[in-house]
Amino acid sequence: MDFSLTVEEREVRDWVRTFVQRELVPREQEVLRRERSGEPGLTRDELTELQLKAKESGFWGVQTPESFGGMGLSAVMTALIEAELGRSFVQFQFGGSADNILFHGNAEQQERYLLPTISGERKSCFAITEPGAGSDAKNIRTSAKKDGSDWIINGEKTFITGGNEADFTMVFAITDPEKGANGGVTCFLVDREMGWRSEYIDTMGEWGPAALVFEDVRVPESQILGELGKGFELAMQWIGRGRYLLPARAIGSCERLLTMAIEHANTRETFGAPIAERQAIQWMIADSGVELEALRWLVLHAAWQVDSGLDSRHAQSMAKLYGGVKANEIVDRVMQIHGGMGYTRELPIERWYRELRLLRIYEGTDEIQRRTIARNLLKGHVKVSGALG
């Protein structure tokens, strides 16, 4: 069994690592200053400038099919890229991507929504979560009622990533209450100019989600994405598109944090010796190193299953659960090793502390992952002996 990276994988990883070190890390202090003043980390113009700079080297549309101008990279390669991007808390994604379910649009919808999103001219958001329907996605209440050749949408979505900046949304609404999620939910492509509004939700981190409000928003029949009543299937496709990528980014964050802890432990002296000589510190370093390595292989194994065409949901849930829990334990240890300085805003540890906490909540809480893993094991969907065979 060969665990080494291919030449291409190493080259891509190293290029992204260099890009992060040269383009993102030098911006960190300015980003921290802006965030503490209530400003966005990177402006839209700055983000576009960085994306175009990366595009010059061929990095555009990491997972977008080559037929649409992207790189069409594998899941493993994408996980490696996300890990490198995680080495900086400056929020950056390579340009040229679009939500996977937009590819289900007809020719007219692809021309109007998919292609402009890939090119960066338009920005979308995915709206399924509601005040009473988070982990229980089937419990959505937003409705769409037929009125002639149009549909009238009413309801509220919450914690929508990118909802404040998006100019159109993929919103999921009940079109047949009797059928519920199984045949009664439809996805609509709704431009902001059609009447919905967004409201900023302030959080403990720098993630600024939105509440989306729909009050008698009228959309024509042509705005249905996919088929009438097949929306929940699209939603599950979107949710399952790459849960492994969330803990993948945490790998890079933990690598950077652990490096900071090691450097500090070797230079900080107490009672005449570096704290690296204290067993309490050594154990924190050792535990973090083991957990980081375990996380790396859980993520890569899940990505390998995706590339192999296997059912990767169980592996992705394991990676998501372990990544969220252990990333939070690692950043906590790193703060403890730094003592009072780790708690200050002079260092970025507290910034990561707040950011990584979100990993245990969004796109499937720890409890939902445990429920999924337990159900698979108890019902025999996955064997205790492992999922390699």
- Count of C-beta atoms within a 10 Å radius of residue 223: 23
**What pLDDT does 134 receive?**
60
Superfamily holding 103-113+122-238: Butyryl-CoA Dehydrogenase, subunit A, domain 2 (2.40.110.10)
Q: Is 121 a catalytic residue?
A: no
Q: Which helix H or strand E contains 304, and what residues bound it?
A: helix 279-307
For the 242-378 domain, the top CATH level (class) is mainly alpha
Regions of the chain where pLDDT drops below 50? 388-389
Q: Which helix H or strand E contains 181, and what residues bound it?
A: none
Contact status, residue 208 vs residue 190, Cβ threshold 8 Å: no
Burial of 240 (0-12, 13-18, 19+ CB in 10 A): middle
Q: Which residues pair with 210 in a beta bridge?
A: 160, 200
The one-letter code for the residue type at 315 is A
**What pLDDT does 389 receive?**
40
Coil, helix or strand at residue 86: coil
pTM of the model: 0.90
Cα–Cα separations (whole angstroms), residue 308 to 103, 129, 305, 312: 21, 30, 5, 9
Digit-coded pLDDT (tens) for 40-93: 788 888 999 999 999 999 999 999 999 999 999 999 999 999 999 999 999 999
**What pLDDT does 137 receive?**
60
- Which CATH number is 7-98 given? 1.10.540.10
Are both 7-98 and 242-378 of the same fold? Answer: no
Domain boundaries, the chain: 7-98, 103-113+122-238, 242-378
Out of 8, 84, 363, 367, pick the active-site residue. Answer: 363
Q: Which of 98, 188, 79 is nearest to 140 (CA)?
A: 188
